[in-house]
Structure 1
Amino acid sequence: MSRRRWVLVAASCAVLALAVVILFVAAPWRSEPIAAPPPAATHATSAPAPTPTPTEQPTPPQSSQAALAAVPLAFFDAAIAALPDPATLHPATAWQVATPRAPLVGLYASPGAASPVIAALGSTVPTINRPTAVAVYGTEGGMILISTPSRRTVPGSGAPSAPSATFAWARAADFILTPIDRIVEVDNATSTVSIVTREGALVASEKARLGTPTDPTPAATSTYMEANYVDPRVTYTDGNPISLTGAHSSLLPGFGGNSALTALHYYPDPTGSSHGCVRVSAAMTRALAKLPVGTPIVFS
């Protein structure tokens, strides 16, 4: 083959090869299509259950003053058998005192809405004419468990002893509730009276003269400071304040012309025993007098 012809053949092959390359590059690339990713699996989620609104426990309807005047008055000389048995209750200091909003407020044997009024508590302590305030020892719905100044039964009337203190349920709405931070503790085992804060700190504490087995000081019960006053007629107190409690003697039906009430008071003789009262120093009577009426008093 001549040189010229060889050159032509080679040139033709080069042109053909270039055309094949151009055709390959220009043609679209064909491959299996890439499937779109599947949608994320959705899991049915239930909406969170709404927090139920607490149902307020219904309370007995408010009684009229006329209706309350027709039931027994709960005061220190009264014995009201319809009051709840203290042995069935579990009073615990609620660190509040309750002051009646009206001249008379209703007391109930149980906290239920259908519970009938069994007694009335006055806004004034009879005889000494001091404002009433009582200790709160429990709550249930719109009801509060409070101390009362009355007895449930009188010792000697069919039973050799009777509870020293009583409680009743009342409508919280019928009272002004005030927080407190001190209580009084009377310890029969150590013959000690103390003022104690909510945190357990001692504000004041001293030895006291208590009752005897036949004239005992209340024990294993709780009550309240019913009144704090000075009575010049009680000469042995030497003009020092008397802290009257809502508790009574568990064995004596009466003493000194009253229903065997228990008080914390001054007595000039620092020795001997009392007839159930708590005999303390003049300094302690003044410390007690600084506490609000209604302050809880716990006898152990």
Structure 2
Amino acid sequence: MATTRTLTRRNAGWIALAVAGVLVAAALVIASIVASWRGEPLAAAPSPTPTATVEPTPTPTPTLIGPAADTTDYDLAGLPEITVFAVVPELPVDDDPFGGLTGVAARAAGAAVPVFAEPGAAPVASLPRDYYYDGTVVPVIEQYDAWVKVMLVGRQAYPSGGNSGQLTGWLRTQDVELTAQEALVEVSLGDRTVDIVRGGDRQRVAADFGSGVEATPTPLGRSFIMTVRTEPTFTYTRGNPITYLSVQSPTLDGFDGGDVAVTAFHYHDTRSGRVSNGCLRVDEAAAHALSTLPLGTPVIIRE
């Protein structure tokens, strides 16, 4: 049995150990505080995992909506057909003959489609998909969601009774096939040059040519290739192809007994200066180069 002195000694030992533990813990706390005051890190903090940045999806640039859509099913019976022989007073003449081009061509998706003088009105003519003298692939000069404004063959009036300039009209995009155009033709009457332009490439196909005299001038402004033909009876062409345009003479109601006076590129032995009834007389190489262009290719004639 332990004595009181023995218990007292044991208790004193346990107390000493406890006190020593407290002192050690206090020393650690003080050391941590001092380290904090000195600006020393207490412990290396784990680096946060970087969060991936999500880039916002760019909003596409909206296209011009333009005039409201018209989904009416029109009866085309009785409407005049847009051909080289057509005279349609209701359709406007091009009001911006040196305006821009869209680089797009339109063609009827069905056998024939309605042609409008302006969106929202009733159609005034029909454009066939196919016609013997072509003129059915037409350049787009304004493009919107539901409508395209195009150049057309035919005339608003004969020169003797009105304006025979380049005809225009509107088509519904729901009615047509749209395709990209690869080229355009630029003509300078002053410089006597004819260039085929494809993107940034310019091919000079004529450095001189014949054009209309004062009484029968070559029409200025934008038009397009209507059709390409070889006419053996036109002996002056010497069998070379003729590239007919959509625009007709500003002074002649008809030509050579016909009721049309179509402007064209064609070969002629006399082909320099103002010598023609309005056509553009070129050499053999130019006649063939121009004849290879797709129907509907825009042509711009400047003074």
Seen in structure 2, the aligned counterparts of structure 1 residues 203 and 99 have a Cα distance that, compared at 3 Å, is farther
- 1:32-111 superposed matches below 5 A: 58-61=68-71, 63-64=73-74, 67-87=75-95, 91-110=99-118
1:263 paired residue number: 264
Partners of 1:77 and 1:131 in 2: how far apart?
11
2:216 paired residue number: 215
Partners of 2:139 and 2:294 in 1: how far apart?
10
2:150 paired residue number: 146
- 1:216-235 superposed matches below 5 A: 216-219=217-220, 221-235=221-235
Partners of 1:60 and 1:89 in 2: how far apart?
27
Question: Contact conserved, 1:196 with 1:204, CA < 8 A, in 2?
Answer: no
Post-superposition CA distance 1:51-77 (Å, at most 9, x none): 79969554222545xx22321111112
Structure 1, unaligned runs of 5 or more:
1-21, 28-47
Alpha-carbon RMSD across the aligned residues, in angstroms, is: 3.4
Deviation at 1:270, TM superposition (A): 3.3
**What is the SS of the residue equivalent to 2:290?**
helix
1:277 paired residue number: 279
Partners of 1:106 and 1:91 in 2: how far apart?
25
Post-superposition CA distance 1:102-137 (Å, at most 9, x none): 221111122x3x232111111223xx4547311222
Question: Contact conserved, 1:86 with 1:163, CA < 8 A, in 2?
Answer: no
Alignment TM-score, normalising by the size of structure 1:
0.74
Structure 2, unaligned runs of 5 or more:
1-16, 23-55
**Which shows bigger deviation, 259-268 or 86-95?**
86-95
Partners of 1:52 and 1:287 in 2: how far apart?
40
Partners of 1:203 and 1:270 in 2: how far apart?
16
Deviation at 1:182, TM superposition (A): 1.2
**What is the SS of the residue equivalent to 1:194?**
strand
**What is the SS of the residue equivalent to 1:76?**
coil
In the alignment, is residue 169 of structure 1 matched against residue 179 of structure 2?
Answer: no
Deviation at 1:189, TM superposition (A): 1.9
**What is the SS of the residue equivalent to 2:211?**
coil
Question: Contact conserved, 2:135 with 2:153, CA < 8 A, in 1?
Answer: no
Deviation at 1:89, TM superposition (A): 8.0
**What is the SS of the residue equivalent to 1:284?**
helix
Question: Contact conserved, 2:105 with 2:138, CA < 8 A, in 1?
Answer: yes
**What is the SS of the residue equivalent to 2:95?**
helix
Letter in 2 for 1:286: H
Question: Contact conserved, 2:217 with 2:249, CA < 8 A, in 1?
Answer: yes
Partners of 1:169 and 1:284 in 2: how far apart?
33
Seen in structure 2, the aligned counterparts of structure 1 residues 63 and 210 have a Cα distance that, compared at 3 Å, is farther
Runs of 4+ residues over 4 Å off in structure 1: 24-27, 50-57, 88-91
Seen in structure 2, the aligned counterparts of structure 1 residues 62 and 222 have a Cα distance that, compared at 3 Å, is farther
In the alignment, is residue 246 of structure 1 matched against residue 246 of structure 2?
Answer: yes
User: Matched residues, percent identical?
Assistant: 29
**What is the SS of the residue equivalent to 1:246?**
strand
How many pairs align?
262
Question: Contact conserved, 2:223 with 2:299, CA < 8 A, in 1?
Answer: yes
Question: Contact conserved, 1:183 with 1:296, CA < 8 A, in 2?
Answer: yes
Question: Contact conserved, 1:163 with 1:250, CA < 8 A, in 2?
Answer: yes
**What is the SS of the residue equivalent to 1:94?**
coil
1:42 paired residue number: none
Question: Contact conserved, 1:63 with 1:106, CA < 8 A, in 2?
Answer: no
